[in-house]
């Protein structure tokens, strides 16, 4: 399970970052394109939720190695978003990254529960409001 999750981490992050980089060329645009890329992932017929969220739910004890690998994935993901938020000049890039990550994680779980619900679009709309409001 740990080997699977580590491989999934590597494969997903490589795919994800290449998609974001290929669709946007500045940090603010990348923060929004993240939601388009997530939406693309949620729409594939094989989508069954996030392996890391699912694994953390199955192995809920924080000391469990499976749980720790899952946490590490989301730490890296949030750090990527924090770096983009920092490049945008947000006063608190860590808070912005946490808020955007919560929208993404919520969309992932919602889509797993109810397929083709359009939650990624709604999450992106909320992200636009967060970003625009924070840059004023």
pLDDT score recorded for residue 95: 97
| Cα 17 from Cα 37, distance rounded (Å) | 9
**For residues 15-39, average pLDDT:** 97
| Cα 134 from Cα 136, distance rounded (Å) | 6
Write out the residue range of the structural domain in which residue 128 sits: 2-135
Closest CA to 56 of 7, 102, 96, 109: 109
pLDDT band at 135 (very low <50, low <70, confident <90, very high): confident
- The pTM score is 0.93
**For residues 122-126, average pLDDT:** 98
Question: Vertex 31, ends 41 and 108: CA angle to 5°?
Answer: 35
Q: How many domains does the chain have?
A: 1
| Cα 4 from Cα 57, distance rounded (Å) | 16
pLDDT digits (tens, 9 = 90+) for 45-79: 999 999 999 999 999 999 999 999 999 999 999 99
Q: Does pLDDT of 85 surpass 80? A: yes
Find the CATH number of the domain harbouring 126.
1.10.357.10
Mean pLDDT of the chain: 96
Q: Does pLDDT of 136 surpass 80? A: no
């Amino acid at each position: 399970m740990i080997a699977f999750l580590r491989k999934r981490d590597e494969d997903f992050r490589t795919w994800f970052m290449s998609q974001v980089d290929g669709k946007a060329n500045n940090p603010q645009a990348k923060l929004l394109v993240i939601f388009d890329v997530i939406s693309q992932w949620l729409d594939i017929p094989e989508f069954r939720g996030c392996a890391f969220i699912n694994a953390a739910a199955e192995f809920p004890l924080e000391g469990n190695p499976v749980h720790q690998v899952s946490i590490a994935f989301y730490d890296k993901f949030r750090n990527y978003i924090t770096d983009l938020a920092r490049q945008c000049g947000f006063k608190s890039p860590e808070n912005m990254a946490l808020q955007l990550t919560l929208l993404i994680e919520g969309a992932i779980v919602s889509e797993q529960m109810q397929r083709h619900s359009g939650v990624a679009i709604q999450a992106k709309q909320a992200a636009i409001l967060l970003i625009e409001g924070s840059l004023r």
